[in-house]
Amino acid sequence: MRKLSEMVLVTGGAGYIGSHVCIALLDAGLDVVVLDNLSNSNKVSLERVQSICRRALAFRHADIRHEEAIHDVLRSCGVTAVIHLAGLKAVGDSNVRPLTYYENNLLGTMRLVSAMKRANVKTLVFSSSATVYGIPKYLPLDEKHPLCPTNPYGRTKLAIEEMLKDLCRSDDGWRIANLRYFNPVGAHESGLVGEDPLGPPNNLLPFVAQVAIGRRETLQIWGNDYDTPDGTGVRDFIHVVDLASGHLSALRHLSRPGVLTVNLGTGNGSSVLNVVRTFEAASGRSVPYEFRERRAGDVAVCYADPTFAIEALGWKSTRSLEQMCADHWRWQLQNPDGYHGSELAKVRERSKHFRRHA
Ligand code: NAD
Ligand code: UFG
């Protein structure tokens, strides 16, 4: 295992998962520089991260497609490793704007690794996705499952994974982890940092939370005729704080050259209806819902085999669905409009229960 005393570049660090990754890194004593173009995030998240950790990080407002900007950050900050989360992630949008996704995700990653090569920084943790598996041929999904993504977003992730493998074959100086996330949900326990989607949320948990707080009237549940115990879709929801700690484990375990590809999931499937009930219990609010037709492209059931993550990274998730819902709700309650219009002092006032800030 590597001893860590790194300066880590976190691309996309102002976003939902990235802000939690920054907390994990700062709490572990590492130094952090975030590079983000803020296309789907708010810099306030990074102010909150620093407040939680009581440590500073550096921020560069830049785009991963600009190789010179990345090279400059790598050199001037003395970066030793990169965690690469920057990317576009909306599945439906990727069907409408495929070239935008290929340009942002694939070309952006090409520019990033080119800059890394020039600066001789060859340790990389990449945000991949369970979406690379496509329709499950068997469950749980292990890392050997065939790869067949069903949308352009997933195909950009697969193309990047393949490109990174080729890079490692060409030069044994590279140490790369492809982390295949399942369904990240929840928020930091402080209620200061969480998911702040622009516009109507595509994903289940933020939609449920906005219904619970009254920002939206009704949850549409896409399909109740799946071959599952209650007819609704089943997913492997993983607490974003557990997911973030998986990145730290990956950095620690990237001691050998080559590519390590690992699922980050819990191994437990939860149905949409089960999530709604658990959220209602955690929030004390009701979440009215109506059943609608299945959403195009959805699979019935998707959950991880997390065994290899334990073997390869010594990592496993620890937080329950109840905790995911409780933490997601705390974030929603303390920041009803997300980062917009939420002054830190007021949010702290609402989060007095969190002793580190009392
Ligand atoms: P997010 O949108 O909150 O964060 C992504 C960040 O990247 C944002 O801050 C955005 O401004 C930034 N960004 C986008 N394009 C950029 C560019 N060209 N240059 C610089 N910055 C750019 O999303 P997230 O949920 O935190 O996801 C992070 C990563 O994890 C993404 O790569 C996503 O594909 C992957 N992922 C997410 C999920 C999920 O359900 N949230 C699941 C699997 C994989
Ligand atoms: N769902 C609803 N109503 C909603 C939103 C979602 O019923 O308003 C259902 C979906 O039909 C599905 C389940 O909730 O059955 C989960 O849907 P999400 O949109 O939250 O998540 P997905 O599993 O579709 O996809 C997510 C990310 C992908 C990522 C994938 C990895 O959006 O980027 O997890 O497993 F690749």
Find out whether 176 and 260 touch, Cβ atoms under 8 Å.
Answer: yes
pLDDT at 47 over 90: yes
Short-list 337, 335, 348, 330, CA closest to 283: 330
Give residue limits of the domains in the chain: 7-357
284-332 tens-digit pLDDT: 999 999 999 999 889 999 999 999 999 999 999 999 999 999 999 999 9
Short-list 119, 50, 52, 53, CA closest to 82: 119
Q: Give the integer Cα–Cα distance in Å for 149 and 101.
A: 14
pLDDT at 167 over 50: yes
| Closest atom of ligand 2 relative to the 157 alpha carbon | 36
β-strands 58-61, 31-36 pairing: parallel
> Cα(333) to centroid of ligand 2, in Å?
22
> Cα(105) to centroid of ligand 1, in Å?
9
Q: Give the integer Cα–Cα distance in Å for 143 and 228.
A: 23
| Closest atom of ligand 2 relative to the 295 alpha carbon | 11
> First vs last Cα of the chain: how many Å apart?
36
Q: In Å, how far are 50, 80, 238, 305, 316 from 129, measured between CA atoms?
A: 27, 24, 13, 14, 17
93-109 tens-digit pLDDT: 999 999 999 999 999 99
Residue 82 CB–ligand 1 contact under 6 Å: no
- What number is the average pLDDT over the span 105-127? 98
Topology at the third CATH level for domain 7-357: Rossmann fold (3.40.50)
> Cα(100) to centroid of ligand 2, in Å?
21
Is residue 153 part of the annotated active site? The answer reads: yes
Q: Looking at the CA of 294, name the nearest ligand.
A: 2
- What number is the average pLDDT over the span 108-136? 97
Q: Give the integer Cα–Cα distance in Å for 230 and 211.
A: 21
Residue 222 CB–ligand 2 contact under 6 Å: yes
Q: Give the integer Cα–Cα distance in Å for 198 and 192.
A: 18
184-236 tens-digit pLDDT: 999 999 999 999 988 889 899 999 999 999 999 999 999 999 999 999 999 99
Question: What 8-state DSSP symbol labels residue 61?
Answer: E
Find out whether 82 and 44 touch, Cβ atoms under 8 Å.
Answer: no
Q: What percentage of the chain has pLDDT greater than the value 90?
A: 89
Residue 226 CB–ligand 1 contact under 6 Å: no
Interaxial angle between packed helices 321-334 and 204-212, expressed in degrees from 0 to 180 and rounded to the nearest 10:
50
Catalytic-role residue among 101, 153, 181, 289: 153
Short-list 260, 268, 203, 264, CA closest to 235: 268
The Cα diameter of the chain in Å comes to: 55
Residue 17 CB–ligand 2 contact under 6 Å: no
| Closest atom of ligand 1 relative to the 38 alpha carbon | 11
